[in-house]
Chains A and B, each alone.
Chain A
Amino acid sequence: MADRSVAIGEWSGPAAAMFVAGLIGAAFAAVLWRGGGDLSLGAAGLAALRFTVLQALASAALSVLLAIPIARALARRSFPGRALLVTLLGAPFILPVIVAVLGLIAVFGRAGWINVGLGALGLPPVSIYGAHGVVLAHVFFNLPLATRLILQGWDAVPAERFRLCASLGLGPWAAFRVLEWPILTRIVPGAFALIFAVCLTSFAVALILGGGPRATTLELAIYEAFRFEFDLPRAAALSLIQLTLAAGAAALALWLVPVLPRAPGLGRTANRFDAPKGWRRVADGVVIALGAAFLLLPIAALLTRGAPALLSLPPSVWASAGTSLQVAALSTAFMLALALPMAGWIASARSGRAEAVGLLGLAASPLTIGTGWFILIYPYADPAAWTLVVTATVNALMALPFALRALVPAFRETLAGQGRLAASLGLTGLAYWRVVALPLARPQLGFAAGLCAALSLGDLGVVALFAEPDQATLPLQMARLMGAYRMEAAAGAAVLLMALAFTAFWLCDRWGRASA
């Protein structure tokens, strides 16, 4: 490990990282400069800080803990529809917040399926509102992501290892200790940090399911500072705290992740001879079924509500779907241009701490980035002309940390396994990328691209701040429908949005897994 023979992204990686830091730094500087330099937080800010951190910790911990058994069960069982289920797991993460919340409420709400069922049995209803509701929603959003990331760790274990385990007669516990525990220590801290950062910036979910102002997050305080008070210094101060928290958590987690090289395998499909039979097989089935039900029932509820309205959607909704697809394509291209060199660079380095830079985009409030760039663009050009570019950029930055989390381990793997051979064959620079790095990281590449495209399709984000009437994206058009009482049409638009986002994700993910 100490002696890497090939390094990739040596200069392009740092350049991309500096570009990301510059984009975000410039936005912050603009907000601070425009507002004057007086930074203060206030008592309400402190209370918001406390709630934000606690709910993010709880959400991230629970998401990761629940994801481990699901990923483990999925990794060692094969059954019809497994591939589809693994792809479907991406669905909750890409839903726009309000859509997902309505889906959760259809299942867990006062008039939801569960309470109707409980009522039929004569049992008292359960309430989704409160701190547990916030955590429930965040787990709904992030459990699938954690599962996918952890599953990728399992998939990266060479098949030979499992064969060896089986032939040595290692029991489930021994196999866990020898093979699986090291995977978890490599993957879990990074996944935790990522989800912690996602939950830090959550705002609408925390408010709507938190049940009141107890559930004020920093992001809401930022929103209030920008919108109602027009207190730019306070907004900047709050955003900085949020950013520091997320970046700090990420740096800590990545520092904890040991960078262990492992012997490469032959890339054959793992046939899990070690998978335990008997009751453990049933238990795995139950875990998978419960996880799938938790994630897919709310989506089923949304589909049954929105599908009838799909055919009668107004033309402007279809037009905005086109706009959204353009933004998604642009944002995916942009994300890949940043993620590939950065991931190569981080994989070549001894420590993974540089990955924390990637988290900045996720942790920086979109409102702050949007407002900052508005201030920067305004003196020179019409910000409305740049709305879609800024939106695509913000979306690319949001997806960047997920892409890095997926790509870095894959690149590290290929560098460790193929780096010397490639160097001896004279495969360096672009040739190394083309022949070695990209083909071997294809599954991760597909996953990252799909995630970015889907995330971008579902994000309302900054477009709502500056859009011209005819520049509406699909999530914005959906918000407009809801604002005009057209809840049914909005439900139809939500189904269209889900279908587009899911198809984009499925196509990319499928392309990636086609080779595996």
Chain B
Amino acid sequence: MKHLITAAAMLAATSAWADTPVLTVYTYDSFVSDWGPGPQVEAAFEATCGCDLQFVAAGDGAALLSRLRLEGPRTEADIVLGLDTNLTAAAAETGLFAPHGLDVAYDMPVAFDDPLFAPFDWGYFAFMMNADAAKPTSMQELAASDLKIVIQDPRSSTPGLGLLMWVKTVYGDDAPSVWSGLSDNVLTVTKGWSEAYGLFLEGEADAVLSYTTSQAYHAIAEEDPTKVFAPFSEGHYMQIEVAGKVASTDQPELADAFLAFMLSDGFQSVIPTTNWMYPAVTPSAGLPEGYAALPRPETSLILPAAEAAAVRDEALQEWLTALSQ
């Protein structure tokens, strides 16, 4: 009899375990790494959801969308986390996403309202330099200087594409001439952010295209005040990272719960010192010290998703032409 009870208890336990719903979140690689927000976010959400949160890493931002397109409506993904506003127009077009229904006051310098995608963090693109170097205050000043910069290829990298949009937003039809001015400053172009940043840290270049929050990383994690960004008076282009609910999800309630959690303290407080971006909703404890001291650009630039998608091809052609000379 005793054995029977044990067996029954075990069976019950097993089936309870088997019933634990699984929420699958597709995200980019650095989000799930030991040094990214993934592990802490997973622990915090699983503490309350009674579910198993599983991250699937699929390369980086653009690869994420490609993966979803490959899988189509049969995808296992319930949530896709880590697209940015340069990708959301294409993502919306796939018809694979469902409205999130959230109504939250974001702490961002620009208004953001997208029925399909909710932001979880954001940042400004900027050129990181050594603190003792003379800093340009605009793209044109940079172009006129003899500073050597490393940038990323817009065809393979998110910051690279961001710079393209930045120049296009500020200079419009004059973008090609700005790019030809910049072309002799470009030491080289890399496939992704880490190669470029690595070159900068090796002392190969005077400046590297990164984020203003890179300065916060050096200040907080390495207590190194010598790496700072160059503030541009014409403004800095923003990156807003978003997440969306997959329409074909088999866990719609859980997905909604995750998106709500994403904008709560449990998620947002992890972001600044793991993803090194500004949280979309400032946590109740405020921002870490290094962030409060970080200068904020006076002008925040960003193109609406539809417009960004529309100018991308033209901007890319201009970039290719100017830098292929």
Chain A residues proximal to chain B, CB less than 8 Å: 34, 44, 47, 98, 101-102, 105-106, 109-111, 129, 203-204, 207-214, 220, 223-224, 226-228, 230, 314, 316, 371, 374-375, 378, 382, 384, 464-469, 472, 476-477, 479-487, 490
Contact = CB atoms under 8 A, between A and B. Distances in A.
Given A480-B30, A483-B194, A129 B187 contact: yes
A408 B58 CA distance: 39
Given A371-B70, A468-B56, A204 B189 contact: no
Nearest to B69: A230
22 contacts: A98-B198, A109-B204, A129-B187, A204-B195, A207-B189, A208-B191, A211-B189, A213-B153, A220-B191, A223-B156, A227-B62, A228-B156, A230-B66, A375-B70, A465-B63, A465-B67, A472-B33, A482-B195, A485-B214, A485-B221, A487-B197, A487-B201
Most chain B CB atoms below 10 A, which of A207, A226, A468, A485: A485
B30 A484 contact: yes
Interface in B131-179: 148, 153, 155-156
B195 A464 contact: no
Interface residues of B, number: 54
B226 to A, nearest CB: 15
Given A208-B195, A227-B62, A485 B217 contact: yes
Given A105-B199, A209-B188, A371-B70, A479 B57 contact: no
Contact of B148 (A110, A214, A384): A110
A371 B69 CA distance: 12
A450 to B, nearest CB: 28
Interface string B196-236: 01110111110000000010010001000000000000000
A105 to B, nearest CB: 6
B35 A220 contact: no
Main secondary structure of the interface of A (DSSP, over half): helix
A111 B29 CA distance: 31
Contacts of A472: 33
Contacts of A214: 323-324
Contacts of A203: 191
Contacts of A227: 59, 62-63, 66, 156
A483 B71 contact: no
Contacts of B120: none
Contacts of B62: 227-228
Contacts of A382: 76
A225 to B, nearest CB: 9
A148 to B, nearest CB: 28
A483 B33 contact: yes
A378 B69 CA distance: 13
Contact of B70 (A47, A110, A378): A378
Interface of B: 29-30, 32-36, 38, 55-59, 62-63, 65-67, 69-71, 76, 90, 148, 153, 155-156, 183, 186-195, 197-199, 201-205, 214, 217, 221, 276, 319-320, 323-324
Nearest to A227: B62
B198 A487 contact: yes
B62 to A, nearest CB: 5
B204 A105 contact: yes
Contact of B35 (A209, A375, A480): A480
Given A211-B189, A490-B198, 13 more contacts: A44-B320, A102-B198, A207-B189, A210-B189, A211-B186, A220-B191, A224-B156, A227-B59, A465-B59, A467-B57, A480-B33, A483-B29, A485-B276
B88 to A, nearest CB: 14
Contact of B189 (A101, A212, A375): A212
Contacts of A465: 58-59, 63, 67
Most chain A CB atoms below 10 A, which of B65, B90, B190: B190
A242 B217 CA distance: 41
Contacts of A469: 32-33, 38, 55-57
A220 B194 CA distance: 17
Contact of B56 (A111, A212, A384, A485): A384
A514 to B, nearest CB: 40
Contact of B194 (A47, A110, A464, A482): A482
A314 B34 contact: yes
A167 B148 CA distance: 62
Nearest to A226: B66
Contact of B188 (A208, A228, A466): A208
A110 B188 CA distance: 12
Q: Closest 9 interchain pairs by CB?
A: A482-B194, A484-B35, A111-B203, A480-B33, A483-B30, A469-B32, A224-B155, A212-B323, A227-B62
B15 to A, nearest CB: 22
A109 B201 CA distance: 13
B197 A34 contact: no
A467 to B, nearest CB: 6
B203 A110 contact: yes
Contact of B202 (A111, A228, A314, A482): A111
Contacts of B188: 129, 207-212
B38 A34 contact: no
A490 B38 CA distance: 19
B143 to A, nearest CB: 15
A481 B189 contact: no
Most chain A CB atoms below 10 A, which of B30, B59, B155, B190: B155
Contacts of B148: 110
B29 A479 contact: yes
B189 A213 contact: yes
Contact of B324 (A212, A374, A481): A212
